[in-house]
Amino acid sequence: MRYSQLFPKTLREAPKSAITANHKFLVRAGFVDQLMAGSWTLLPMGWRVVGKINQIIREEMNNIGGQEMLMPLLHPKEIWNQTGRWEAADEVMYKLKDTRGKEYALSFTHEEIVMDLVKKFVHSYKDLPLAVYHFSTKFRNELRAQGGVLRGREFLMKDLYSLHVSEEDLMGYYEKVKQAYIKVFRRIGFDIYVTEASGGVFTDKHTHEFQVVADAGEDTIYIKPGTHEGFNKEVFEGREEDYEVKRSIEVGNIFPLGVAKYAEKMGVYFTDKDGSKKPVWFGSYGIGSTRVMGTAVEVRHDDRGIIWPKSIAPYDVHLVNLRAGDQEGVRVYEGLQKAGVEVLYDETDRSAGEKLADADLIGIPVRLVVSEKTGDKVEWKERDKDRTELLSVEEAIKRVVQ
Ligand code: ATP
Ligand code: MG
């Protein structure tokens, strides 16, 4: 991608309302744009980052047998009445009426929709276990949409749902999902903490949250010293032991839902081996991919801009041409592209200062500079290091693809 064609260009100033690093830098660097409170456009570079996050999640969900699909966002009231959540989740749901007076909710989650599918298609123990997931928009009437993309009223989530013949089978799978989530967050470069939490409007059982320590977080977690495990605030209350208190961002949450709140209320039963009818055991598992992008910026930035981890960076290389004329730059650009490297190529005639400042702001892991001084070589610099090196184009490619 040539910088001259990239939509949009970087901004000099962060919005005045921006307090958190992700809000300031993602807006200034042109990754996201705010339509209104809690509502964001993922601009082309932001969409690339979220695409990479989603791909990591997708690979790990497929690894544990998840099947990807896509469910609707506009839900009829009747389906939410079956579990009583039309009333119980009133605060968080956006509800609307069409011109004929029929009532709907915009999806804030999909348990009821999955259960409706299971009722139609799962009849026997032979149809179980089953795990399905999708990536989709969630709408939530958040009281305070704040912290940039960390808390939206409309945001992207991967939600996985699993169905089982028994509690034992559910809990075995729940543990698998926990490990898959840890893998996802490690691949994204997070130092992840797993905390026990309550289930909110989802379940009366305890759940597990995946937390990243950051000042911008709205959560308080209690960590057993020397471990990456602990409790969130609601669950910790009343405990006497010594724990370390940290501010954190919840990036994922898994729920062992059981049978009482969904299968029994919606009448979702299967026929077991012995011919008896039993309710289907249910679990649900969420990761907020847009919040993950914001969290990555919160934990990886300096005063000049973002420092993307390699695994989710919008491009592998930011190539900056400081020479008059494009010729040498194009040679390097095309060489990199041929080798399968994703490149943002700044070929504009803006000042060197402006171009290098943009490279720091945008935060692509490797910066390559072509200048009058570099001859037929390129200057290599990593975003999180100060050292520069002169390399041949071939050497540079080799380092990027390794
Ligand atoms: P929070 O406590 O922050 O309001 P939650 O516990 O209500 O979040 P869940 O229902 O557990 O959220 O949703 C699963 C995941 O979706 C969360 O772990 C988070 O990554 C993401 N998420 C939830 N709410 C938002 C939001 N308003 N904006 C962006 N991401 C969100
Ligand atoms: Mg949660």
| pLDDT, average across residues 75-89 | 98
| Residue 397 pLDDT exceeds 90 | yes
Q: Kindly give the distance from the C-alpha atom of residue 207 to the centroid of ligand 2, in angstroms, as a whole number.
A: 9
**What's the pLDDT at 199?**
85
* pLDDT bracket for residue 222 (50, 70, 90): very high
Atom of ligand 1 at shortest distance to CA of 209?
Answer: 18
Q: Tell me which of 253, 287, 293 to substitute to probe ligand 1's pocket, judged by most ligand atoms within 8 Å of the beta carbon.
A: 253
| Residue 189 pLDDT exceeds 90 | yes
**What's the pLDDT at 202?**
81
Q: From the CA of 140, which ligand is nearest?
A: 1
Q: Whose CA is nearest to atom 22 of ligand 1?
A: 288
CB atoms within 10 A of CB 215: 12
The structure's pTM equals 0.98
| Residue 248 pLDDT exceeds 90 | yes
Ligand 1 contacts CB of residue 346 (under 6 A): no
CB atoms within 10 A of CB 229: 13
Q: Whose CA is nearest to atom 19 of ligand 1?
A: 288
- Name the CATH topology of 315-401: Rossmann fold (3.40.50)
Q: Tell me which of 150, 157, 195 to substitute to probe ligand 1's pocket, judged by most ligand atoms within 8 Å of the beta carbon.
A: 157
Asked whether the domain spanning 315-401 has the same topology as the one spanning 34-302, the reply is no
CB under 5 Å of ion ligand 2: residues: 253
Q: Whose CA is nearest to atom 3 of ligand 1?
A: 250
| Residue 268 pLDDT exceeds 90 | yes
Which span out of 236-240, 323-327, 392-396 was modeled with the highest average pLDDT? 392-396
- Name the CATH topology of 34-302: BirA Bifunctional Protein; domain 2 (3.30.930)
φ/ψ bin of 292: left (φ > 0), alpha (ψ from -120 to 50), beta (otherwise)? alpha
Q: Whose CA is nearest to atom 25 of ligand 1?
A: 151
CA Rg value for the chain: 24
Measured in whole angstroms, how far is the alpha carbon of residue 223 from the centre of its chain? 23
| Residue 238 pLDDT exceeds 90 | no
Distance CA 182, CA 176 (A): 10
User: Which whole-number Å values give the CA distances from 95 to 115, 136, 140, in the listed order?
Assistant: 21, 18, 10
DSSP lists the bridge partners of residue 317 as 343, 366
Distance CA 141, CA 137 (A): 13
* pLDDT bracket for residue 296 (50, 70, 90): very high
Ligand 1 contacts CB of residue 38 (under 6 A): no
Distance CA 208, CA 239 (A): 18
**What's the pLDDT at 11?**
98
- In this structure, are residues 219 and 254 in contact, taking their beta carbons and an 8 Å threshold? no
Domain boundaries, the chain: 34-302, 315-401
Atom of ligand 1 at shortest distance to CA of 142?
Answer: 27
In tens, the pLDDT along 141-163 reads 999 999 999 999 999 999 999 99
- Percent of the chain scored above 90 by pLDDT? 95
Which tokens hold the place of 135?
A: 């990536």
- In this structure, are residues 285 and 160 in contact, taking their beta carbons and an 8 Å threshold? yes
* pLDDT bracket for residue 402 (50, 70, 90): confident
| Residue 324 pLDDT exceeds 90 | no
Distance CA 110, CA 57 (A): 18
The H-assigned helical ranges of 97-193 are: 111-121, 167-187
- In this structure, are residues 369 and 381 in contact, taking their beta carbons and an 8 Å threshold? yes
